[in-house]
Amino acid sequence: MRLPHFDYAAPTTVAEALRLLAEKGPGARVLAGGTDLLIRMRHGLVTPSAVIYLGDIAALRTIFYKSKTGLTIGAMARLVEVVAHPDIRRRYPAVADAALETANVQVRNLGTVGGNLCNAAPSADNAPTLLALGAEMVLAGPKGDRRVALDQFFKGPGQTVIAPGEILTAICVPPPPPHSGAAYQQVSARGKVDICAASVGAAVVFAGETCQEIRIFLGAVGPTPLRALETENLVRGKVFTPELIEKAGAKAAAESRPITDMRASADYRRQMVGVLTRRALLEAQKRAGKH
């Protein structure tokens, strides 16, 4: 199917992009990497009256780390840039892992972490780890900038708290605490060809050998990424043992709310949540230097 007719603009500043969004009205859509929007347009699922491309806004392409504030990933930073960035690989390896697991190299060369999150698919590879790390989304709009915790960002499949006239400008991740580690694990039916059938992002902080703090998020097994609160409560304050890790996997599987679709059955997804949770906790423990 051919693309529908639409107005096109490529602003060079955030202010110009916001002005164009206001002028074009509710029929306007912003374009990042286009790996989702253009496909949906070709299939007639969306028919925007205007497309506003954000790739010429240099300020949205930056990635940088500061010891006091942590990591900032610009909304237009490509997945491939996130995978290769030295500060991310050194301090946030699970973020690089999640970006690397997203689709294939062709998509990663175009797609962005920001676009992956704004698409709000329950299976978004980059969501669980960033959620576990306590990331925030920076939104620019007519009334100025505002920050939204990523765990408050998703409203449902394809739905976020981004208000009309707003755009995502950056994802901010706090500095990793001492003796902490994070990990991302996922499984898909056809490897890089398909989106994930289940995923887990976990972040842990140790005090001695005891797990002092933990955050676990499950992907593709609910309408939005799910926080495994009961699993966290089971593990928090305890020393990692094979028995505890086994129980944590079973508890996370029980907390998941999977469905059966063309990619996997609900039973398979539930079982894989258990496996992936165990793997993620062990990898996070190793990265925290507690193994």
Given this model, what pLDDT does residue 87 score?
Answer: 97
pLDDT by position in tens, the chain (length 291)? 677 789 999 999 999 999 999 999 999 999 998 888 888 888 888 899 999 999 999 999 999 999 999 999 999 999 999 999 999 999 999 999 999 999 889 989 999 999 999 999 999 999 999 999 999 999 999 999 999 999 999 999 999 999 999 999 999 999 999 999 999 999 987 655 678 999 999 999 999 999 999 999 999 999 999 999 999 999 999 999 999 999 999 999 999 999 999 889 999 999 999 999 999 999 999 999 965
Residue range(s) of every CATH 3.30.465.10 domain in the chain: 58-173
Given this model, what pLDDT does residue 235 score?
Answer: 98
Given this model, what pLDDT does residue 263 score?
Answer: 87
State the Rg of the chain over Cα.
19
Token readout for 167 is 């755009």
Residue range(s) of every CATH 3.30.43.10 domain in the chain: 7-53
Given this model, what pLDDT does residue 291 score?
Answer: 58
List the CATH code of the domain at 7-53. Answer: 3.30.43.10
Please list, in sequence order, all residues whose beta carbon lies within 8 angstroms of the beta carbon of residue 191, skipping any fewer than 6 positions away: none
Given this model, what pLDDT does residue 255 score?
Answer: 98
pTM score? 0.95
Q: Which residues of 236-260 are buried (b: 16+ CB within 10 A; e: fewer)?
A: eeeebeeeebebbbbbbbebbebee
In the CATH hierarchy, which fold is given to the domain comprising 180-287? Enolase-like; domain 1 (3.30.390)
Given this model, what pLDDT does residue 227 score?
Answer: 98
Residue range(s) of every CATH 3.30.390.50 domain in the chain: 180-287
What's the chain look like in SS3?
A: CCCCCCEEECCCCHHHHHHHHHHHHHHEEEECCCCCHHHHHHCCCCCCCEEEECCCCHHHHCEEEECCCEEEEECCCEHHHHHHCHHHHHHCHHHHHHHHHCCCHHHHHHCEHHHHHHCCCCCCCCHHHHHHCCCEEEEEECCEEEEEEHHHCEEECCEECCCCCCEEEEEEECCCCCCEEEEEEEECCCHHHCCCCEEEEEEEEEECCEEEEEEEEEECCCCCCEECHHHHHHHCCCECCHHHHHHHHHHHHHHCCCCCCCCCCHHHHHHHHHHHHHHHHHHHHHHCCCC
CATH class of segment(s) 58-173: alpha beta
